[in-house]
Each structure stands twice: as structure tokens, then as C-alpha cells.
């Protein structure tokens, strides 16, 4: 399979991993400290195994249904009118998710590095590379995500350097929150795994589908491990009481270490992480544009793309401050859980209708 959207299962795995961790991991330690105290990392691990099971189920159903993505499957099993309606619902979710991520990204930039830059100027400067790459297709955005590996490596190295600041006593006793509270916190932890559903959107473009299950499971496993490390490290450095009153726990963690030559190490680390954040937002931007093109029957129009960008920017301006942005993200996360359930239901119906075969007609 060739074309601007053709990617490998390994590239899709990196796509999923970056999408899940780019933004959510910044605030998750604080959220979990409020829910389960110092046992947040346990909540992440429990939720991670659930997310892996859901991710495996989606891939299994995709393989049972056809070699197509959810957008084509919907039209095949529900007909043109209802199928297009469902696809438009998916596009709407993806567009709102992109806008919410964009707003959070811009607010984080403003709070951390550029407090005086007008938001509209910041929006255009930050999103211009994404607009360019998304126009040229999934393959371009997926290849660019390889560079985010340096961001994640830098964060892990930084946490290792902080070993003198870590107090393991802040993580004791293990499991103090109790089973009931840990299970209740799964909802908050699962928000960090929202993004695993994107594989259903892009499935038709993956060239080596025989390896999809392995790499999609690994993507969610890596998300679980990385998120658990960040949550545990933040709690072990700050303590559950202090971290519970913070807003941007990861960025505060970056401010702990001072180097003799580099001085403000936090500025370098935040800059590294903004690179990952931009790729996370771009993943949803690519998914929403890809969906719109599918709805428009593969007609990639500059005029439609311009309208798409303007609409994205308008929606991203709805939250006015940090609190509203977090509330907006929470709404999107709940929508993401709902969309995941919708995908699973559609794929089950597809598998039943085709009896596990691959007999969908071309839409």
C-alpha cells in the first residue's frame, strides 16, 4: 500500500503513545493524588491493563470485520445516510478533541514561557507546522513523531538525575488507599489512555496489519509504564499533600534540579515536552482532517481545509483560562470513552453481519 497516508504498525504505535501521554501526563499526578493519595501509580497500572485489553479488543474486532477503518465500516454496515451521520459524529468528537488539546497546549505555553504573547499570535505560530504536515498526510505526521523519542528520553534521564530528591517513604505504605478507592480512580487514570481508539480511524492505512495487535498492545503498555513512572516520581519528590495542590505537576518537577552551567534546566525540559505536546495535538488534528476527507469522499480541498482550520481555532478559543481548559479536556475525555464504546459496538455489529469475513462492499 502506497500513498500519503500509508504507515506501518510501528509508526501507529508511536502515534498512539505520543497521543496518550503528550498532554494528560502533565496534570495526572495531581488528579490521582486527590483521588488515591500516594497510590496513584498503582491506579495507573491497574487502568493500564484494562486499556491494553480494550486496545486488543478493538484490533481483534477490526481484523474480524475487514481491512477497512471504522469510517468505511460504518457506511458499509449502516448505509450511506446513517453511516455518514455516525462518521460526522466521529469527526465532531475528533475536532473538539483537537481544539481542547490546542487550547491546553497554548495555555501551558503562556503560563510557562510566553505570558505576554497575544493568544491569536501564539496559536498561528505554534500550529503552523501542524497545518503544513497534516495537509500532506498521515505518513508525514507519523514520521515526524520519531523525534519525540528525544523528549521522552530527556524526561526519563532527568528523573534519574533527581534520585537524591526522591523519598520512597512518600510512597508508603503501598496500597493504603484501598481496593475500593483504587477501582474508583480508574476513571481518572483512564483519561491518560484516551487515544487508543484512533487506530480504528487509521486502520485501513496500516500496511502490515499482521503486526498491528502486537504493536498496539505495546503502545499502551509503554503508556502505562511511562505514566506510572511520572506519577510515582512526582509523588516521591513532592509528597501526596503538596502535589495535590499543584496544577502542572510535571512542569514543577522540572524546576527541582539546577545545573551549574545550564542554570534554568526547567526551561530546556519544558521546551522538550512542548515538542511532545504539539505532536499529541497533531495526532487528533490529523485524525479529524482524515475523517472529514473521508466524509467528503476523498476530496482534499484547500477551501475546506481553510474552513477546517478556522473552525478549529474558533472552538479552541471557548475556554478562557486554565480551569476552563481542564474542564474542557475532561469533557473531551468522557467523549473519548463514549466514542471508544461506540467503535466497539459498531465493530461487533460489523463482525456479526459479515460472520467474521471480509465481504464489505466498497463504499
User: Is the confidence at residue 70, as pLDDT, over 80?
Assistant: yes
pLDDT digits (tens, 9 = 90+) for 26-35: 889 999 999 9
* pLDDT value of residue 48: 95
CA 117 to chain CA mean position, Å? 26
**Residue 246 φ/ψ region, left for φ over 0, alpha for ψ in the -120 to 50 degree band, beta for the rest:** beta
**Beta carbons of 288 and 134 less than 8 angstroms apart:** no
Cα separation, 145 vs 267, in Å, equals 21
Share the mean pLDDT of the chain.
Answer: 87
Burial of 262 (0-12, 13-18, 19+ CB in 10 A): exposed
- 129-176 pLDDT, tens digit per residue, is 888 899 998 999 988 888 889 999 999 999 998 888 889 999 999 888
The pTM for the full model equals 0.90
Give me the mean pLDDT over the 338-362 stretch: 77
Measured distance between the N- and C-terminal CA atoms of the chain, rounded to whole angstroms: 18
Rounded CA-CA distance 201/206 in Å is: 11
Count each helix (H run) and each strand (E run) in the chain, helices first: 16, 0
- Residue 266 is predicted with a pLDDT of 80
Confidence of residue 2 (pLDDT cuts 50, 70, 90): low
Percent share of the chain, pLDDT over 90: 45
Distance CA 212, CA 234 (A): 33
The helix/strand/coil state of 263 is strand
* C-alpha span between 99 and 312 (Å, rounded): 6
* Confidence band of 261 (pLDDT split at 50, 70, 90): low
For 131, the grid coordinates are: 497545518
Amino acid at each position: 500500500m502506497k500513498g500519503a497516508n500509508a504507515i506501518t504498525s510501528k509508526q501507529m504505535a508511536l502515534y498512539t503513545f505520543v497521543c496518550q501521554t503528550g498532554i494528560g501526563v502533565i496534570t495526572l499526578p495531581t488528579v490521582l493524588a486527590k483521588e488515591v493519595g500516594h497510590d496513584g501509580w498503582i491506579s495507573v497500572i491497574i487502568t493500564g491493563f484494562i486499556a491494553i485489553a480494550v486496545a486488543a479488543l478493538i484490533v481483534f474486532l477490526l481484523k474480524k470485520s475487514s481491512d477497512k477503518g471504522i469510517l468505511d465500516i460504518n457506511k458499509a454496515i449502516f448505509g450511506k445516510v446513517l453511516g455518514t451521520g455516525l462518521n460526522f459524529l466521529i469527526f465532531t468528537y475528533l475536532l473538539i478533541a483537537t481544539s481542547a488539546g490546542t487550547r491546553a497546549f497554548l495555555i501551558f505555553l503562556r503560563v510557562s514561557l510566553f505570558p505576554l504573547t497575544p493568544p491569536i499570535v501564539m496559536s498561528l505560530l505554534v500550529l503552523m507546522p501542524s497545518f503544513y504536515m497534516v495537509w500532506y498526510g498521515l505518513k508525514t505526521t507519523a514520521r515526524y513523531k520519531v523525534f519525540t523519542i528525544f523528549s521522552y528520553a530527556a524526561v526519563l534521564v532527568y528523573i534519574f538525575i533527581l534520585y537524591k530528591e526522591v523519598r520512597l517513604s512518600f510512597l508508603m505504605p503501598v496500597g493504603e488507599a484501598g481496593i475500593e478507592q483504587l477501582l474508583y480512580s480508574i476513571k481518572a487514570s483512564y483519561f491518560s489512555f484516551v487515544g487508543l481508539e484512533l487506530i480504528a480511524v487509521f486502520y485501513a492505512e496500516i500496511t502490515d496489519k499482521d503486526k498491528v495487535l502486537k504493536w498496539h498492545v505495546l503502545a499502551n503498555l509503554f503508556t502505562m509504564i511511562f505514566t506510572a513512572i511520572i506519577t510515582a516520581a512526582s509523588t516521591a519528590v513532592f509528597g501526596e499533600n503538596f502535589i495535590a495542590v499543584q496544577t502542572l505537576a510535571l512542569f514543577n518537577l522540572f524546576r527541582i534540579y539546577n545545573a551549574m552551567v545550564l542554570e534554568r534546566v526547567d526551561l530546556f525540559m519544558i521546551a522538550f515536552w512542548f515538542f511532545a505536546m504539539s505532536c499529541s495535538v497533531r495526532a487528533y488534528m490529523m485524525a479529524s482532517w482524515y475523517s472529514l476527507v473521508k466524509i467528503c469522499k476523498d476530496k482534499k480541498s484547500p477551501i475546506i481545509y481553510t474552513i477546517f482550520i478556522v473552525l478549529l481555532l474558533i472552538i479552541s478559543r471557548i475556554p478562557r483560562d486554565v480551569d476552563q481548559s481542564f474542564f474542557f479536556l475532561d469533557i473531551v475525555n468522557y467523549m473519548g470513552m463514549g466514542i471508544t464504546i461506540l467503535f466497539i459496538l459498531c465493530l461487533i455489529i460489523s463482525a456479526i453481519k459479515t460472520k467474521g469475513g471480509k465481504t464489505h462492499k466498497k463504499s
